[in-house]
Structure formats: structure tokens, C-alpha cells
Amino acid sequence: MNNSYVVFIDSTTPSVSNTAVNSSKVNINEIVCVNATVQDTGIGLDKVWAYITYPNATEANITMDDDISSCSGSIGDNIFGIDINVSSTEGNLTINTTYANDTLNNLGYESPWPILNVNVTNAGVAISIDLSPKLGQQINWSLISLPIYNQSAEGNNYDDATDYYVNISVEGGTADLYIKSSSDLMTQGLDVLGLGNETFSYNTTNSSVPDSQKFALTTSYLDNQVGNNLGDGSVIYLKFFLSAPSGQAAGTYNNSLSIKAVPNGEMP
């Protein structure tokens, strides 16, 4: 009896093309997307990686995947990608080329090397905030019957969407947001209600601010951080509350707020 064997020899290297990066200039510590088209007609791919050089001259092989991330397209489309942090050093991040090998270690790469440079700069963080019309005015309470406990400010709208909110625009990083009061609350008749009676709640996603936790408002930014590591397009929704003892004079009480945004991690 004769035994027959079929030996399959795969000497075809993977095909690598269209190495690309989604930006040519970014700020330090930002993310860039690197991807390439990779195909293998033989036994199948084993690994795909980008060969890069960081601004500090460190070289690295960064594994790329064909998955459902925005950088990689969709599974099975032969687009392999990876999100890369450009590091904290200024200079050029260089995507030299993309390599791929199959399960028999046939090695392919894009040739000639594309040599894609990303200029990494420390341009700083640009931040702007836009207060809602109601928040840009004073915060008002009309006290008629006393005592009161956690009475909603006029713009809270009870359980509905608040009229008090801050829109944040950020370029080159993220932002932290702080709030403080200018003073105690006062009526036009100069009746004073201590700031310790005013509290607030905030939410980053829900305009009705369902949070039950209330925070004491003070005259120091450091006491009142209402947003951390906020990206471009973030919104902070706020509601304000007031308590007053039975001996407090009735009237319309108000105070003014100051709101400040700073680069993430910096002091206000």
C-alpha cells in the first residue's frame, strides 16, 4: 500500500499598501489613527504592525488589528489600524512603514516606505465656555413663606430640563470647570442670607439633573469643581437650591456666579 502526501508550500508574502495617518499636526499627548490595507492570498495572516519613530527617536513596532474600531474600519475589510499616543515630546512622529507576516513567517511590507510625518507641538490648550442666558444672569429665589428647605431656583424648572448650563469648547486637550459665588445672597432691600444656605447639583449628560447629591457653594473655585477632563462639546447642567430659617426676611434673594475653565490638571 502506497501512502500519498500533498505538501502545500506558501512562499507568497502578504501584500501591504495605503499606510495612512489621519493628521499631520497634533498637540502633545494627542491620539492619531494609523492604518493600512493588508491582504494575504496564502495560508493567512499572523501579525500586522506599524514601524514608527517617536519624536524622542525611540523606535517601536505597534501591533495593528482588523477590528470594529473607527481606526480599523470593519472586521474583514482588510484595513488594519491602531490609535497611537504621540507622546509628550515635541518634534516629528514618523510612521516609517507597515509590516505583515503570515503564519509561515513570510514577511511583507509597504515599499517604498511611505515615511509619514506627524508634527507634534506644544501649542497649549484653547478653551472657551458659553453660559446659558439664564446662568449669565443672577440666580434668583422668591421667598414668601418661611422657613424653606432646598427651594429650587427660578431656572431649575423642577424635574424638567434646567435653564442653567455651560457649553465647553476645547482644542488641543481637555478642560476642568470650576464655579464660585461672588458673595452672600441679598435682596434689593439689603436683607442678607448667608451663602452657606445655597447648594447646587450638576450633571454632565442629563439636562434634568436628577442627582440627589447637593454641594455647598462657596466663594472659592477650589471648593467647587463641576467638571473634570472635559472634551470639546461637553455640557455641564446645573441646578441651585436655597434654604432659609423662619426668622429670615421674605423677599427675592439673589447672587452672582463666576465660572472658569482651565486645562485639565491646572489650578483655577
Query: Would the pTM count as exceeding 0.85?
Result: no
Q: What is the pLDDT of residue 9?
A: 58
Domain ranges of the chain: 15-121, 126-263
User: CB within 8 A of 135, min separation 6: which ones?
Assistant: 155, 163, 164, 165, 166, 238, 257, 259
Q: Give pLDDT tens digits for 240-265.
A: 999 999 999 999 999 999 999 999 88
User: CB within 8 A of 1, min separation 6: which ones?
Assistant: none
pLDDT band for position 3 (cuts 50, 70, 90): low
Q: Give pLDDT tens digits for 128-174.
A: 999 999 998 889 999 999 999 999 999 999 999 999 999 999 987 89
Fold observed for domain 15-121:
Immunoglobulin-like (2.60.40)
pLDDT band for position 10 (cuts 50, 70, 90): low
pLDDT at 123 over 80: no
Q: What is the pLDDT of residue 2?
A: 58
pLDDT band for position 4 (cuts 50, 70, 90): low
- Calculate the average pLDDT of the chain: 92
Are 15-121 and 126-263 in the same CATH fold? Answer: yes
pLDDT at 187 over 70: yes
pLDDT at 18 over 80: yes
Query: How large a percentage of the chain has pLDDT more than 90?
Result: 78
CATH 2.60.60 at 126-263, yes or no: no
Q: What is the pLDDT of residue 252?
A: 96
Q: What is the pLDDT of residue 246?
A: 94
pLDDT at 182 over 60: yes
Q: Higher-confidence residue: 10 or 71?
A: 71
Least reliable range by pLDDT among 68-72, 98-102, 118-122, 198-202: 68-72
Q: Higher-confidence residue: 43 or 237?
A: 237
